[in-house]
Amino acid sequence: MKEISELDFPEDLYYTEEHEWARVTDGNVTIGISDYAQDQLGDVVFVEMPASGDQFKKGDAFGTVESVKAVSELYMPIDGEVIRVNQTLEDAPELLNQSPYADGWILEIKPGDASQLETILNRDAYLKMLKES
Amino acid sequence: MSNPTRTPFYGEHLALKADMVEFGGWQMPIMYPDGIVQEHLNTRLGAGLFDVSHMGRFIIRGKDGLAFLQHVLTNNAAALDIYRVGAQYTLIPTETGGAVDDAYLYRFRQDQFLLVVNAANRKKDWQHFRQFMNDFHGLELLDHTAEMAMLSLQGPNSREILHNIISHGQLPEPRRNAVSTVSISGTEVLLACTGYTGEPIGFELFMERAHGPGIWRRLLNEGATPVGLGARDTLRLEAGLPLYGHELGVDTDGGEIPILSCPTAKPAVSFSPLKGDFVGKQALKNQFKDLERIINHDCQNLAHLPRIIRPIALIERGVARPGSMVLKEGNPVGVITSGTMAPMWLMEGDGAESTMTDNHGLRAVALGYVDSHVQMDNPLHVEIRGKRIAATVVPFHLRSDMPPYARPILHSHMV
């Protein structure tokens, strides 16, 4: 596994304590897992995702990511309705390792209350949490 | 075990930037920077090098050495000779036909045996053996775990790699369980055609502790790649080989798993007259009769073998994990004992002519402890986080009978 300093954490994202990221694009929010999360998991071999139309509250488990040795739940950073899931992950789960912030995105949601993003971590706060853990 | 022990290869693992974990009281590499998937694929295509020095190594010798082994192990130790077959899979049985441990018995010299046991069971096995020692004369039982280093080299290129570094002596005959003694870098190395990966070509190497790291480096220089405990588990699972604590020992309800529940244990249980009476013999005979009936599809009232270990494939997307329930027509019929996604090279062509392509995929493989009446190809489900995923019992996940490659057999949904 890598040192924190070797990992990538883009400035323009929000992060959760459970290592999901959220990005706002044209009023919708894209969700994935952080570079730290994919490095801790190791080779991702399976992703279980919800269906379009599913509704979630902030903190709800919405799916799972599995590596060879570990199963991790995924949690919603904010309230919202799923409008798109990244189906390519079904046949190419390794995208979560190779490109966690771009090709390895997991969901796009229509946020219930986008102001909830201000209650989760920004890059600096997330990095501080990682360094202190 | 507060202070995990280091194998002689500890410094090599750190130099290769392995992720280290504690396993059975030892500090071991779970994986190297390539990761578990690549290490698994490297073994199937080239040659994987494993530090297995954490395993327990007991020397048995003296006048009654053979008689002792015949009494406390299930296989026929008298069948070993250093010229033809020098190694055998065996089990350490309980009086009631369960497993204290599974083990490999080697005979590199006429006058002594080497028994390799699981790291986590080493102290338990030792105590178990001590109960029987007073019945034998001139018996020496020695724990040489710390004095010896042990490596495993597995995969299609392993024979050529070893050939390149041997200075004296011959490789063993190309046959499972053959053994030989050779010289590498001026030190004596014991070689056996054994392993825990399902590879048709593979070796285990024993040497004095101090000479281990030098031989490790020579093997890497010749093209072997290091493999950690993570891929060791996916490789053995794909090959359908049992792991103590999952397929052997006690089940999830705390009940003893009968040894012959594991189909791979069958050739390791001998009722040869040469063995005489041995620990658990009557219980194993009863299990054996039930196993014959299961093979003949006569599955009523199997008191001694109500459940057996079977390879299970998932037909729909999903990953079965230990503890997942197995259902038939909606009724529970067993439990998953080991399960993961295993990588595989995609093959081109048929049978022994088939060769590996440059492409690889992933598929769910599992072993389950299921009711003995469950038949091959019965439609089953495995319950994973509340969802029922279609599954079936299959004969194998992997074929090992056509060297040089171990070939995947596809029943599962593939990614």
Are B317 and A43 an interchain contact pair (Cβ–Cβ within 8 Å)?
no
User: Within its chain, how far is the Cα of B198 from the centroid?
Assistant: 9
Res B1 pLDDT > 50:
no
Report how far residue B148's alpha carbon sits from residue B225's, in angstroms, rounded to the nearest whole number: 22
B50/B94 same-domain check:
no
Q: Which amino acid is at A58?
A: K
Residue B128 has a pLDDT of: 98
Q: Which of B19, B36, B317 comes nearest A68 by C-beta? A: B36
| Domain presence at residue A133 | no
**CATH number of the domain where residue B24 is located:** 3.30.1360.120
Report how far residue A74's alpha carbon sits from residue A67's, in angstroms, rounded to the nearest whole number: 13
The answer to whether the beta carbons of residues B364 and B341 sit under 8 Å apart is: yes
For B343-390, the pLDDT digits (tens) are 999 998 888 888 889 999 999 999 999 999 998 889 999 999 999 999
Q: Which amino acid is at A2?
A: K
If one counts the domains in chain A, the total is 1
- Structure tokens, A115: 């102001």
B16/B162 same-domain check:
yes
| Domain presence at residue B120 | yes
Report how far residue B315's alpha carbon sits from residue B91's, in angstroms, rounded to the nearest whole number: 33
Interface check for B323 against chain A (CB to CB < 8 A): the answer is no
B154/B49 same-domain check:
yes
Res B2 pLDDT > 70:
no
pLDDT values of chain A reduced to their tens digit, one per residue, 133 residues: 888 999 999 999 999 999 999 999 999 999 999 999 999 999 999 999 999 999 999 999 999 999 998 899 999 999 999 999 999 999 999 999 999 999 999 999 999 999 999 999 999 999 999 999 8
Range of the domain at B28: 5-55+146-237
**Mean per-residue pLDDT, B392-414:** 90
Residue B412 has a pLDDT of: 76
For B191-222, the pLDDT digits (tens) are 999 999 999 999 999 999 999 999 999 999 99
For B247-299, the pLDDT digits (tens) are 999 998 899 999 999 999 999 999 999 999 999 999 999 999 999 999 998 88
**CATH number of the domain where residue B258 is located:** 3.30.70.1400
The answer to whether the beta carbons of residues B290 and B298 sit under 8 Å apart is: no
Residue B352 has a pLDDT of: 81
Cβ-Cβ contacts under 8 Å, A67 against chain B = 36
| Domain presence at residue B313 | yes
Q: Which of B234, B317, B415 comes nearest A68 by C-beta? A: B234
Write down the H helix ranges in B34-99: 36-45, 65-72
Are A66 and B319 an interchain contact pair (Cβ–Cβ within 8 Å)?
yes
Please, which residues have CB within 8 angstroms of residue B255's CB and are 6 or more apart in sequence?
none
B184/B128 same-domain check:
no
Cβ-Cβ contacts under 8 Å, B243 against chain A = none
- Chain A: residues touching B (Cβ < 8 Å): 1, 42-43, 45-46, 48, 64, 66-69, 71, 90-93
**CATH number of the domain where residue A72 is located:** 2.40.50.100
Chain A interface mutation, best of B39, B233, B319, highest count of A Cβ atoms under 10 Å: B319
Are A46 and B385 an interchain contact pair (Cβ–Cβ within 8 Å)?
no
The mean predicted confidence, pLDDT, of chain A is: 95
Chain B interface mutation, best of A2, A43, A74, A88, highest count of B Cβ atoms under 10 Å: A43
Strands B187-192 and B179-184, sheet pairing: antiparallel
**CATH number of the domain where residue B415 is located:** 2.40.30.110
For B115-168, the pLDDT digits (tens) are 999 999 999 999 999 999 999 999 999 999 999 999 999 999 999 999 999 999
- Identify any residues that bridge with A24 across adjacent strands, giving them in sequence order: A29
The answer to whether the beta carbons of residues A88 and A119 sit under 8 Å apart is: no
B313/B377 same-domain check:
yes
Report how far residue B377's alpha carbon sits from residue B69's, in angstroms, rounded to the nearest whole number: 40
| DSSP 3-state of B7 | coil
B403/B300 same-domain check:
no
Q: How many CA atoms lie within 13 A of B76 on its CB side?
A: 13
Strands B387-393 and B307-314, sheet pairing: antiparallel
The mean predicted confidence, pLDDT, of chain B is: 95
Residue A42 distance to chain B (closest CA, Å)? 7
| Domain presence at residue B298 | yes
B312/B410 same-domain check:
yes
Give Cα separations from B146 to A71, B163, B327 (angstroms): 36, 27, 46
Range of the domain at A103: 4-124
B109/B23 same-domain check:
no
| Domain presence at residue A15 | yes
Report how far residue B225's alpha carbon sits from residue B45's, in angstroms, rounded to the nearest whole number: 11
Predicted TM-score (pTM) above 0.90: yes
* 3-state SS string for A60-123: CEEEEEEECCCEEEEECCCCEEEEEECCHHHHCCCHHHHCCCCCCCCEEEEECCHHHHHHCECH
Report DSSP state, residue A94: T
